[in-house]
Structure 1
Amino acid sequence: MHEKRIAKLYLRELFGALALYTVLLMLAITFGRPMAPGVLRTAILVSPMIGFGAAIWAIVRQVQRADEYVRRLLLENVSLGAAITAGLTFTYGFLETAGFPKLSMFIVWCVLCLSVVVVQIVRKILDR
């Protein structure tokens, strides 16, 4: 029962943060891009990071609420995902020198998230 309650709380906090991120992102793109370069434009264009920070806060709170076993498992999964991401980004760095197109740094975050999810799924299947 406790796990369900904290999972619901976590999802509410995380999706609230992601909603804030989405709203700020749309506003930044709509109003920030057409502005003349300057401090105000820069502040508006990085404002979605407020939502990103709130998402990190939600994740940290959830990890603090988890027991030691879940914390260890999560740390291992994130570590493996980070190692996979490092390998893939280094490999693509070499491919860029071979003429492959340059990718945005936003791709690294997506690869990290996907890597962690894949690690979690694989480990869940192997633990059966």
Structure 2
Amino acid sequence: MSEFRHYSRYYKEMGGALALYIVVLIVSLRWGMQLEHGPLQTLVFLSPMLPFLLGVWAVVRQIRRSDEFMRKISLEHLAITAGITAGWTFTYGFLENAGFPRLSMFTVWPAMGAVWAVLSVAQAWRNRGPA
């Protein structure tokens, strides 16, 4: 499979998962707020995790379709991302003890995504051919 088709397929899978996630998130927030506290409300608020899992599936499929070099790069980026995010969250935990505002767990994924994006851009810049 050509590299373009390889990534095109991934972008379609991930784009579909993200679009579905946005729709389910909006519906779950609007509907869930109207429900009484209890198991049904909890399930409604957890429902965006189903399309999120489709996004995870898209990433796993992309890695499995990749060649050995890209798998190596992906693993390196994952390890670095996990280390930086763990260091940041652990450090911030101490800052919360010093009076800094508590952060929601929703800040962890955007932080991980930002680190991964910076690593990907840096890798692409480093691997670009001569001008």
Q: For this structure pair, what is the TM-score category when the shorter chain's length is used for normalisation? A: over 0.9
Kindly state the Cα deviation for residue 92 of structure 1 after the two structures are TM-superposed: 0.7
Residues 48/75 of structure 1: CA separation in 2 closer, same or farther (3 Å cut): same
Partner of 2:103: 103
Deviations 1:61-88, CA, capped at 9 Å, x for gaps: 1111000110001110111111111111
Kindly state the Cα deviation for residue 125 of structure 1 after the two structures are TM-superposed: 3.0
In structure 2, stretches of 5+ residues that fail to align are none
* Amino acid corresponding to residue 94 of structure 2 in structure 1: F
Structure 2 counterpart SS, 1:33: helix
Pairing 1:1-128 to 2, within 5 Å after superposition? 2-128=2-128
Mapped to 2, the partners of 1:111 and 1:98 lie a distance apart of 21
Equivalences, count: 128
* Amino acid corresponding to residue 74 of structure 2 in structure 1: L
Q: Is the 8 A contact 1:82 1:116 kept in 2?
A: no
- Quick one: percent identity of the two aligned structures? 45
After TM superposition, the score normalised by the length of structure 1 is: 0.95
Kindly state the Cα deviation for residue 19 of structure 1 after the two structures are TM-superposed: 0.7
Mapped to 2, the partners of 1:98 and 1:126 lie a distance apart of 39
Deviations 1:6-53, CA, capped at 9 Å, x for gaps: 111110010100011101100011001221011111111100001100
In structure 1, stretches of 5+ residues that fail to align are none
* Amino acid corresponding to residue 58 of structure 1 in structure 2: A
Mapped to 2, the partners of 1:17 and 1:93 lie a distance apart of 32
After TM superposition, the score normalised by the length of structure 2 is: 0.92
Mapped to 2, the partners of 1:126 and 1:98 lie a distance apart of 39
Mapped to 1, the partners of 2:45 and 2:22 lie a distance apart of 13
